[in-house]
Amino acid sequence: MPGQQVSPNLALDQLVALRRARGESIVHLGFGESRLPVFAPLAQRLRLGAPRNAYGPVAGDLAVRQAVSGYFTRRRMPTHPEQVIMAPGSKPLLMALQMVVPGDVVLPRPCWVTYGPQAEWAGKHVFGVPIPDDCGGVPAPDALRETVRAARKHGRDPKIVILNSPDNPTGTVAPPTLVREVCAVAEEEDLLVVSDEIYRDLVHDPDTPFLSPAEVVPDRTVVVTGLSKSLALGGWRIGTARFPMGAWGTRIREGVASYASEVWSTLAGPMQEVAAYAFDEPPEIRARLATDARLHGAVAGAVYEIMRNAGAACRRPNAGFYVYPDLSPVGESLRRKSINDAITLQARLLDEFGVAVLAGAHFGDDPHAPRFRAATSMLYGDTEEQQAAAQETDDPLRLPHIAAALDAIETSFTKLCS
Amino acid sequence: MPGQQVSPNLALDQLVALRRARGESIVHLGFGESRLPVFAPLAQRLRLGAPRNAYGPVAGDLAVRQAVSGYFTRRRMPTHPEQVIMAPGSKPLLMALQMVVPGDVVLPRPCWVTYGPQAEWAGKHVFGVPIPDDCGGVPAPDALRETVRAARKHGRDPKIVILNSPDNPTGTVAPPTLVREVCAVAEEEDLLVVSDEIYRDLVHDPDTPFLSPAEVVPDRTVVVTGLSKSLALGGWRIGTARFPMGAWGTRIREGVASYASEVWSTLAGPMQEVAAYAFDEPPEIRARLATDARLHGAVAGAVYEIMRNAGAACRRPNAGFYVYPDLSPVGESLRRKSINDAITLQARLLDEFGVAVLAGAHFGDDPHAPRFRAATSMLYGDTEEQQAAAQETDDPLRLPHIAAALDAIETSFTKLCS
């Protein structure tokens, strides 16, 4: 078996909770969760869904699959309800894809902590391909082609590439030209594209161009998404996948449905009720998404500025709630403090500065590079009142609890980097 | 990959729904669901749990794991919260165990439709061992020993035996003496026992002796259960596992937690709220379980009588809501109707008699044996009113809708078997 470790982000979150319970003051930037209250209409739908105690269809009932079809269709991906499978989160769907589709997996490096371990559980080999300089979540196209060809020369069989735009950990949208280039390589090398678009509705500026691989190579792209990030429902576990039309897509979808029927049966009925409502995107949901995206942009932007001022190199985040600084430009200061790798950087930031971040090494990045992910969504507050205030104000950076956290981060990194 | 098929019970349920929607009248005995309304206090807990949108610990929060510990401790299995992992149903936990524990799997034959496919998804070989004549869910001990030894001689490595008492599909409790014998073989042959006790709270007569393998070989038994059957919450997806103390148990538990963190993250927060309440077993929950167990006993008993009167051999059900008749004694009548195998029997029962059952072959039984499982819990009614009436009355067999369904079954089987 691949490991005995709990996923590092979940493990760090548990550690921070433990240390805070012991009275330690920690600025928690270590967990990829949108820490905002449940939007009231979603709670109402959960209540309305309570009578749904029957198993129902594996893929989800028709109403929820119609809502998801509408969601994708409005995003230039015409979708029939037959193409949709619901699940308790997008994680089980990503795992099912890895179990069902034979061959090895290519991942952008760095990427979300879970793609790699899932591939290992599924008995696959993982090939990491560096991301470009200006964004994350997609492998640099030429390096992707080279990696696939070299792997095949060595007898491996890369067959899947996972893309994630906007991405975790860099918080950036891949530009359409780059998406087209990557899709061209996928076509050329006959790769299935798994496009994890769970941060799509959190682009800070709605005018940022977004292109899904499913618009470019529709027959070879599975899109996965969920409500964990966009509607702050991580703890409710609602995910969905859109499979391609055509013979290959249908075969993969039937395989995932088969796996689902043996492993999770179906998404819980009350959660299907919530999903049918949310993916239908009534005006109040659209307004909520827009509000939250602005909040994420403001706070991620502020942390980005702090990191740049402290001397870090950093891609400018334009979606989601992550910043991925690289402290290499101030490497001399780190080495003087005996910080020579990413894991040590994470540990010392927590122990000496009370700042919890996740080392780049956990995202598959070079373990010697002093990089880490800061999840800025953890700064909205520890109480529902603070979080609601952050959503309601035009200038979240001036809220006392957010300003204080940003000050603490600035002080810590000024000290660390000098 | 093992297959492209949806689990046969879920597939049959979808087929019946489709044909009923087309106006066909079908007596649905084909799906293993307790078709009863949601108990009101459970819906209330779901509502109270709505604010729980954070991911929280992978295994579930302390409150729910304490409740589950209490549940097991009251059943003569002293349990610490550390030993417990929650999940969206017991299926993902059973799958995780198969992924985490190396070696092949031994199953009672017949057994629940999902154990075998899960083993295949996990790359394991499955060995079926016939059940005894008087109950199901456990392999006959001598045959178990022989199968394991023969498998090892042929270079295989059976390492896990899955037990299920009370069981699906025969609806019987394994007597304590038999459980001890099977546990002795597990000890002798160094097998991990996975004890699926999801029907435990549905024993018809509370005085029926029940012994868990975890009481006999505690260091090598993982117990899995959930609320899908006992509290009719299949569509809510709430399951849990209890791992052994000791080095082996701890290693397996850590492996399952690691797998869980990569595949399903955690049980949804609102469902943890429900589970904490239900596993704590306040008086109203205990009363509800007792009421439902009586109802299951009455209706399963009636179907058992019909089958016996029609000439079937059948174990007398004493738990859950299944009956597993064997029509071999009237095989001549079947052969005259060109019914020579279990799958044909299932198809003809549906097409010509409008009775949906699941062929024994789907449970791993001899495909030529005319056996099937009837899920009698599907007879409680199609509306909440009918179902509630069935729960409230002392004599559910006299309710018009249940009496009519039983009449239809009797007529069909009298015709089929003569």
A112 half-sphere exposure, CB direction, 13 A CA radius: 26
Task: Please report the pLDDT score of residue A4 as a whole number.
Answer: 64
Q: Where are the beta strands (DSSP E) in A116-169?
A: 126-130, 158-163
Q: How far apart are the C-alpha atoms of A247 and B352, rounded to whole Å?
A: 34
Region A41-56: mean pLDDT is: 96
In chain A, which among 207-266 make CB contacts under 8 A with chain B? 232-237, 251, 254-255, 257-259, 261-266
pLDDT greater than 60 at residue A2: no
Of A50, A265, A271, the CB nearest to B43: A50
**DSSP per-residue codes, A45-102:** HHHHTTT--S---TT--HHHHHHHHHHHHTTT----GGGEEEESSHHHHHHHHHHHS-
Of B55, B121, B254, the CB nearest to A33: B55
Coarse DSSP helix, strand, coil percentages of chain A, rounded to the nearest 5 percent: 50, 15, 35
Region A392-417: mean pLDDT is: 96
Task: Please report the pLDDT score of residue B304 as a whole number.
Answer: 98
Binned at pLDDT 50, 70 and 90, residue A13 comes out as confident
What are the structure tokens assigned to B74, written together? 């009251």
| pLDDT over 70 percentage in chain A | 99
In chain B, which among 98-137 make CB contacts under 8 A with chain A? 99-100, 102, 114, 117-118, 121, 123
Binned at pLDDT 50, 70 and 90, residue A404 comes out as very high
Task: Please report the pLDDT score of residue B2 as a whole number.
Answer: 57
Of B92, B102, B254, the CB nearest to A263: B92
Whether the CB-CB separation of A264 and A92 falls below 8 Å is answered with: yes
User: A194: which strand partners?
Assistant: A162, A222
Region A5-18: mean pLDDT is: 85
Angle formed at CA A220 by CA A217 and CA A226, multiple of 5 degrees: 95
Task: Please report the pLDDT score of residue A139 as a whole number.
Answer: 98
Q: How far apart are the C-alpha atoms of B85 and B247, rounded to whole Å?
A: 17
Query: Which residue segments constitute the domains of chain B, with CATH numbers given?
Result: 8-31+284-417 (3.90.1150.10), 42-281 (3.40.640.10)
Q: How many Cβ atoms from other residues are within 10 Å of residue B386's Cβ?
A: 17
What are the structure tokens assigned to A279, written together? 């993916």
Contacts of A375 in chain B (CB under 8 A): none
Mean of per-residue pLDDT scores for chain A: 96
pLDDT digit string (tens) for B74-104?
999 999 999 999 999 999 999 999 999 999 9
pLDDT greater than 90 at residue A10: no
Residues of chain B with pLDDT under 50: 1
Of B50, B95, B265, the CB nearest to A10: B265
Task: Please report the pLDDT score of residue A292 as a whole number.
Answer: 97
Contacts of A43 in chain B (CB under 8 A): 47, 50-51
Q: Which residue carries 């043996």 as its tokens? A: A262
Region A73-81: mean pLDDT is: 98
Nearest to B199 by CA among B285, B295, B320, B88: B320
Region A276-283: mean pLDDT is: 98
Task: Please report the pLDDT score of residue A32 as a whole number.
Answer: 86
Q: How far apart are the C-alpha atoms of B222 and B377, rounded to whole Å?
A: 28
In chain B, which among 135-164 make CB contacts under 8 A with chain A? none
In chain A, which among 373-402 make CB contacts under 8 A with chain B? 384
Residue in A with minimal Cα distance to B262: A114
pLDDT digit string (tens) for A193-229?
999 999 999 999 999 999 999 999 999 999 999 999 9
Contacts of B92 in chain A (CB under 8 A): 92, 263-264
Q: Is A265 close to B3, i.e. CB distance below 8 A?
A: no
* Least confident segment among A9-18, A25-34, B93-102, B170-179: A9-18
Of B31, B257, B265, the CB nearest to A237: B265
In chain A, which among 263-292 make CB contacts under 8 A with chain B? 263-271
Q: How far apart are the C-alpha atoms of B390 and B199, rounded to whole Å?
A: 20
Q: How far is B319 from chain A (nearest CA, A)?
A: 21
